[in-house]
Structure 1
Amino acid sequence: MDIDFTKYLPVAAAILSATLGYIFGIRTKKNDRLVQFTQENLKEVYSPMYHDMKKIIADSVKPKDRELMLDTFFERYIGNDTSIYKLGSLELLDTFYELNDRYGQFKLSRDEGLWKDIWWEFESNFFYKVKEGYRNSTDLLYRDFRWQQYVQTKPYWKKFYFESMKFLFETVKGINVISALLVYFSTCFKLLGLGLFPNDFWIFSLMILGLSILATLVLMLPNIQYISLTSNLKESFFRQVAKKMFPVLVVKWDNLFIKKDYEKVPKMYERRFYED
């Protein structure tokens, strides 16, 4: 069956241009506001709260000191001049205020069961969500930081090359999503007998999707440095899988290139007297 793809090009071009225009144009102002707000809540709430909580839940803290730190923690964020609203999450705010109320009840009753329940909620629920917000905010602000450092140290022609490859890579990834949506909707409308798209448009969309995926794979090679520097993963996906399936081999592989020199490690302090 011969398909005249030229008659589908205006439809596909209109959809692609409208979608890409939205992605690269309209969302810019919203992203700028998001970055500004994230800078404020990271500096004023997430970072100080996260590090305060890390100190409180540390195993080395004595029970008396931990309670005093909790007193300071709740007093700090429940005051009239608190900026806790910049957490930007009603769920987190409700959890904090509920914890504060229950902690006040504990201070009066000194009930051990209530303390255990409060501590579990504080460490396993509230701290986990604050940590997640802290990491997400940091990743949003500094995702391109290392990449920009890397690019700015290069000559002008390399800067142009790297930025061009990055633009093409990100554009093709957007086209992948749009093409997948075109395949989905054109196929659905074809099966339902709706005439919104031409009869063979789903085949054309499928071909565009295949070409865009192929282009993405090709563009991954010149963008390896960009992908590596902007990734927030400590290790690649393949390395994580290898560590789970072949941990011994991974250790041996690392030892081929990395030698840990323990001779330069300072001597550990040997404590001879212990306090209660």
Structure 2
Amino acid sequence: MDIDFTKYLPIAATTLSATLGYVFGIRTKKNDRLIQFTQENLKEAFSPIFHEMKEMLANSLKPKARELMLDAFFEKYSGTDTPIYKLGDLELLDTFYELNEKYEQFMLSRNEDLWKEIWWELEYILFYKVKEGYRNSTNLLYRESRWQQYVQAKPYWARFYFESMKFLFETVKGINVVTALLVYFSGCFKLLGLGLFPEDFWIFSLMILATSVAASLVLILPNIQYIALTSNSKQSFSRQVMKKLFPKILAKWDGLFIKKDYDSVPKMYEKRFFEEE
């Protein structure tokens, strides 16, 4: 089949320029605001909460010391001047306040079963979410720090080479997304009989997509150092994809294998009601 590529170039060029203009223009302002917000919530919320909880979870703590730390923790972050709202996650906030209510009930009842439930949720739900937010915020702020340190230590010609390869790699990845969308929509419109695109535009889009994917594969090799230095996750690639695309399905899958094992719960402080503080 002979395809006249020249008649499709204006459409493809307009689409690509508009998309790349968004990626490198308007999106930059949103990223700047996100960075500013992340710096604030990491400093004032995620970092202090994460380290306070980590200290509470230490096995070396005695029961009384652990309970006193829990008292101080819930009092600090449930008060009127609490910075906990800066976590910016309603689900995480709900988890904290629900756990706070349970802890208040425990302080009245001193029920050991309730203590075990509170501690399990504290360690495996609240702390897990705080730790995840702490890591994500840190990763967002410092993701490229190792890469920049690596590049800036090179001679000027090497810096130009590495930055050029990075730019091409990221640009081609953006083109992959745009052309994949063009293939999808032009193919759908063709199947539905809609004449929004030229007759064989989807074939042209498919060829461009194949070319850009091939270019991405070629650019992986000169960008190995960039990929390695900007990757901070220890999780497998498949799990990263699932977490990004289908987080709810992944959470349900993990839930099938998570059981509340109270064997590791530290001993409750056997407080006597007339004990002096």
Give the TM-score of the pair, scaled to structure 2: 0.83
Which residue identity lines up with residue 164 of structure 2 in the other structure? S
Query: Which residue number corresponds to residue 247 of structure 1?
Result: none
Q: Describe the shift of the 1:91–1:233 C-alpha distance in structure 2 as closer, same or farther (beyond 3 A).
A: closer
Using the alignment, how far apart are the partners of 2:235 and 2:27 within structure 1? 31
Distance in 1 between residues matched to 2:65 and 2:33, nearest whole Å: 40
Partner residue, 1:8:
8
1:76, CA displacement in angstroms?
1.6
* Secondary structure of 2:222's aligned partner: coil
Root-mean-square deviation (Å): 1.5
Q: Secondary structure at the match of 1:233?
A: coil
* Residue of structure 2 in register with 1:212 after alignment: 212
Matches within 5 A, 1:171-190: 171-190=171-190
2:56 is aligned with 1:56: yes
Using the TM superposition, give the Cα deviation of residue 80 of structure 1 relative to its aligned residue in structure 2, in angstroms: 2.6
The equivalent residue for 1:245 is: none
Partner residue, 1:248? none
Partner of 1:137: 137
| In structure 1, C-alpha distance between the alignment counterparts of 2:212 and 2:130, rounded to whole Å | 38
Q: Which residue of 2 aligns with 1:195?
A: 195
Instruction: Report the secondary structure of 1:154's partner residue.
Output: coil
**Equivalence for 1:116:** 116
Provide the secondary structure at the position in 2 that maps to 1:198. Answer: coil
Q: Is 1:35 aligned to residue 35 of structure 2?
A: yes
Distance (whole Å) between structure 2 residues aligned to residue 83 and residue 207 of structure 1: 52
Structure 1 residues 229-254: Cα deviation after superposition (integer angstroms, max 9, x where no partner): 0011348859xxxxxxxxxxxxxxxx
Q: Distance in 1 between matches of 2:217 and 2:194?
A: 34
1:96 aligns with 2:96: yes
Alignment of 1:17-32 (within 5 A): 17-32=17-32
* 2:161 corresponding residue in structure 1: 161
Partner SS, residue 71 of structure 2: helix
The separation in 2 between residues aligned to 1:165 and 1:44, in whole angstroms, is 37
Aligned equivalents of 2:125, 2:232: Cα separation in 1: 23
* 2:232 alignment counterpart: 232
3-state SS of 1:95 partner: helix
List per-residue Cα deviations over 1:21-44 (Å, max 9, x = no partner): 111100111100000100011111
- Percent identity among equivalent residues? 78
Residue deviations 1:168-220 (CA, integer Å, cap 9, x gap): 10000000111111111111111110111111011000000000011111111
Q: TM-score scaled to structure 1, two decimals?
A: 0.83
Matched AA of 2:88: G
SS of match in other structure, 2:2: coil
Alignment of 1:146-157 (within 5 A): 146-157=146-157
2:73 maps to: 73
Distance in 2, matches of 1:221 and 1:78, equals: 51
3-state SS of 2:196 partner: coil
Q: Which residue identity is paired with 1:166?
A: K
Shift of 1:10: 0.5
Distance 1:47 1:110 in 2: 31
> 2-side partners of 1:182 and 1:60: how far apart?
59
Gaps of 5+ in 1: 239-276
Runs of 4+ in 1 over 4 A off after TM superposition: 235-238
Q: Tell me whether 132-141 or 154-163 shows the greater mean CA deviation.
A: 154-163
- Match of 1:180, as an amino acid? A
